[in-house]
Amino acid sequence: MSKRRNHDAAFKARVALEALKGERTVSELATAYEVHPTMIHQWKKALLEGAAGIFERGGKAAAAAEIAEDTVRDLHAKIGELAVANDFLSRKLKPWTGK
């Protein structure tokens, strides 16, 4: 059984760019680079979707900060909900545990 190979970002970008150029077919690229054609299609799609972010000013840092703030806010809310549920359950279980 063969092991999965992890390709670095530079390799993926190079193959995706070649696929976008259209000088060779995806099948030819897959044979040349020894990867599955589906992977090339996925890398090509990811390249096209992420290309606009390269030209945004501070887009990467601003987007990361916004995502981080949203994530932290959601996690704090979840912690609060779990703390309330934990207190409720501990009060309801006291008669059975004898504490």
Domain count, the chain: 2
**The predicted structure's pLDDT at residue 96:** 77
Q: Which two tokens stand for residue 78?
A: 């979840």
Question: pLDDT digit string (tens) for 1-42?
Answer: 567 788 999 999 999 999 999 999 999 999 999 999 999 999
Residue 18 neighbours by CB distance under 10 Å: 18
CA distances from 61 to 50, 54, 89 (A): 14, 12, 42
**Confidence label for 63 from pLDDT (cuts 50, 70 and 90):** low
Percent of the chain residues topping a pLDDT of 90: 56
**The predicted structure's pLDDT at residue 58:** 59
Q: Is the Cβ–Cβ distance between 50 and 42 less than 8 Å?
A: no
Are 30 and 64 in a shared domain? Answer: no
pTM of the shown model: 0.54
Are 95 and 65 in a shared domain? Answer: yes
Are 42 and 64 in a shared domain? Answer: no
Domain extent, residue 35, equals 7-55
